[in-house]
Amino acid sequence: MLISCGDALIDFVPTRNAEGREAVMPAVGGSCLNVAIGMARLGASTGLVGGISTDMFGRMIADHAAASNVELGLATRSDHQTTLAFVRIVAGESHYAFYDAETATRNWTYRRGSILFDRVEALHVGSTTLVNDQGAAETKALIADARPTSTISFDPNCRPNLVKDKPSYLARMAEFAASADLIKMSDVDFAYLHGEEPYQQRASAMLGQGISLVVITRGNNGAIAWHAGAGQIEVQAPQVAIADTIGAGDSFQAALLFALHKQGRLARQQLKEIGADELRRVLSFAANCAGLTCTRPGADPPWSHEITWSW
């Protein structure tokens, strides 16, 4: 099984009403839920760990996850309200305003002993759950239990408007990165976390820490990956008609993990031994999945019948 731990929320995505005025439309989202949905739709046995409300929006989330074959038995249901995020597209990038006080996601606690990690091939973490102290602490406990047998995947998916103390947040992200086997971040996240440091320099430092794979996505400019054995690999983004970019990075992450799983390269030792040609196929598949997601509004990752791969 593949597990994603973290946020599940409702995005209010931009649209236009009949008069052409700006409007918003509710859509199920949350980076870590999107990753779970993306992996499940591609055909992997997938579960979500995190907090989901029992309110109207929480029922929307649960129904959406179930319809995509995501297992919710490991999630915690509560009567805390659902996190809401309002989205605007500015210069092709999604910008968010979050309403996240006292929500089901923020009040999630990890139930130790509830997960049989010897059956979990990989655990993915990241995004808004790691901004607040409780979410970060609970996720650290989860990683500590998972790491002996499961590959750890990390995408910081930064949301600067939620960060109150940037130095502390940067230190926290560095700590999570150090516990990961695989790190994916966007170029925007990289700039927020590492400023103008060259990609190659930071990737080399991360590989030196024992991280197996570092991937940076760059929107229309494709993705670059660094691996200790396979070296540096770059793939192009597909040319598509973009509806919006919401969930594109999550779709890339989901497809990356699924493709590694499909090729038998997701387990920690197998990931260390992946070859350049294999890794290029994995990255190209992930880029194509992200591109397809961009052709439709909201976070709507592809199903297995919508995408092809060459292995």
**Whole-number Å distance between alpha carbons of 3 and 123:** 5
303 burial (CB, 10 Å; 0-12 / 13-18 / 19+) is middle
Q: What is the pLDDT of residues 143-152, one digit of tens each?
A: 999 999 999 9
Which residue shows structure tokens 């925007």?
Answer: 188
Contacting residues for 57 by C-beta, under 8 A, at least 6 apart:
9, 10, 26, 81, 82, 84
The pair phi, psi for residue 271, each rounded to 5°, is -65, -40
Distance spanning both ends of the chain, measured CA to CA = 21
Q: Is 266 left (phi over 0), alpha (psi -120 to 50) or beta?
A: alpha
Contacting residues for 15 by C-beta, under 8 A, at least 6 apart:
23, 24, 25, 297
Least confident of 19-23, 135-139, 204-208: 19-23
Mean pLDDT of 268-281: 96
212-236 core/surface letters (b: 16 or more CB in 10 A; e: else): bbbbbbebeebbbbbbeebeebebe
pLDDT at 311: 59
**Whole-number Å distance between alpha carbons of 64 and 181:** 29
**Whole-number Å distance between alpha carbons of 53 and 107:** 10
Rounded to two decimals, the pTM is 0.94
**Whole-number Å distance between alpha carbons of 112 and 225:** 34
Q: What is the pLDDT of residues 155-167, one digit of tens each?
A: 999 989 889 999 9
Share of the chain above pLDDT 70, in %: 99
Per the prediction, the chain carries an average pLDDT of 93
Q: Specify whether the CB–CB gap between 237 and 216 falls below 8 A.
A: no
Torsion of CA 123, 27, 187, 202, to 10 degrees: -20
